[in-house]
Amino acid sequence: MQWKKVIIPFVVLAIGYAGMEVIASVGNEKSENQPIDTRPVVSVQQLEAIDYTVSLSSYGEIIPLESTNLAAQVSGEVISWNENFVPGGLVKRGEVLFTIEKDAYEAALLQAQANLSSAQAQLIQEQAQAEVAQREAQSMPQNRVTDLYLRKPQVMSAQAAVKSAEAQIRIAQRDLNNCVVRAPYDALIINREIGTGDFVTTGTIAATLNNVESAEINFPVASFDQHLLPTNIAGSPAVVTVNNRSIKAFIHRDLGVVDQATRMTHLVARIDDPYGMRSGKPLVKYGNYANITFTGKTLKNVFRVPQELVNNGQIWLLDENTELKSKTIEVVREEGAYFFIRGDIDGANLVMTPPDYPLDGMKVKVISSDKHLVAATPVNQGN
């Protein structure tokens, strides 16, 4: 029995060794029958042309449409002013800002009215005398009837005196009206230089006002974006973003010049009722910097591809033989992480994961594909 204990371990070892040899031989046979595929692995996506409407953006400062240094048009003592006529106050068009003492101007108007009455009376008298002279001239020789005899110069002088008196009334009435100073438009009071009891003279600056009926934003457009501006830019809608608020605006005009230093062109956008006096909307303060976005031209038949796939104006495509093929394209616009390109590539398979050292004609193995070019963000397609 002892010899069995010695022989059995050797038998087990022999059987195990034989099994290992069989397995190894089978593995070698399979590896010899299946050659290794050394082709680089790539993924592709099919290119499809789109019409893309460009969205342009810029920035600028919100400024008033106009600013006025309000001046007194008559001389006199300031006797009252509006409670909103203070820095930061808002007043409506036509609202009284301050008043000047009127006594002297009311007296001047009465004097002008009296002068008009006197001139009219003189005209009536001269016209009556001219009628008498006209009747008498009918019985006189024609060579003795002159304009002076018919009192034509006297009538004309009286008519001129009436017109002069009427003009004096207009001036006196204007001066009287100017004793009440009104807002020329919906306005924000920037500063006030007068107070009750001050004596102002004609031309004295009383306050500075900013128009709040409309605001403007003067913003630049870079030279590489200028070819994307619509042909008729005036009136185009825009969106102004300030303090995380989006506000409707419109492009009012092109300033018509190119900055000599920056080579940029400048456009002007307008915002209606920025301080909400008519609409009740939250105010948009002057002096804020704002972003402005508006629609540019529509790019026809372009392709949207990630920037990293474009190298020296070329992309890599996969042909019907699963071989790489380089293709020269035109970069039309850069937007975020993408290029919009043009070329004869509609329906072609774009290589999304090219090898480290791609070559024309290189055989590759495709692991995934899609019918459409997939982008990380939605594409804005024009109609």
The C-alpha atoms of residue 60 and residue 160 are separated, in whole angstroms, by: 58
Any idea what the CATH number is for the domain that residue 249 is in?
A: 2.40.30.170
Same domain, yes or no, for 235 and 285? yes
Among residues 264, 296, 328, the one where a domain terminates is 296
What was the pLDDT predicted at 379? Answer: 39
Same domain, yes or no, for 233 and 266? yes
Same domain, yes or no, for 120 and 61? no
What was the pLDDT predicted at 367? Answer: 83
Residue 279 within a domain: yes
Residue 280 within a domain: yes
Same domain, yes or no, for 205 and 252? no
Residue 377 within a domain: no
- Under DSSP, the state recorded for 227 is G
Residue 374 within a domain: no
Bridge partners, 277 (sequence order): none
Same domain, yes or no, for 146 and 278? no
What was the pLDDT predicted at 155? Answer: 83
Domain coverage including residue 285: 56-65+212-296
What was the pLDDT predicted at 25? Answer: 57
Residue 200 within a domain: yes
Q: What is the pLDDT along the chain (383 residues), one digit of tens a residue?
A: 555 555 666 555 656 665 566 555 555 554 455 677 788 889 999 999 999 999 999 999 999 999 999 999 999 999 999 999 999 999 999 999 999 999 999 999 999 999 999 999 999 988 888 787 777 767 777 767 676 766 788 888 889 999 999 999 999 999 999 999 999 999 999 999 999 999 999 999 999 999 999 999 999 999 889 989 988 899 999 999 998 899 999 999 999 899 888 899 999 999 999 999 988 888 899 999 999 999 999 999 999 999 999 999 999 999 988 899 999 999 999 888 999 999 999 999 999 999 989 999 999 988 866 544 443 333 344 43
Same domain, yes or no, for 141 and 131? yes
What was the pLDDT predicted at 383? Answer: 38
Same domain, yes or no, for 72 and 207? yes
The C-alpha atoms of residue 383 and residue 380 are separated, in whole angstroms, by: 10
Structural domain count, the chain: 5
Same domain, yes or no, for 216 and 292? yes
- Please work out, in degrees rounded to the nearest 5, the angle formed at the alpha carbon of residue 253 by the alpha carbons of 249 and 254: 125
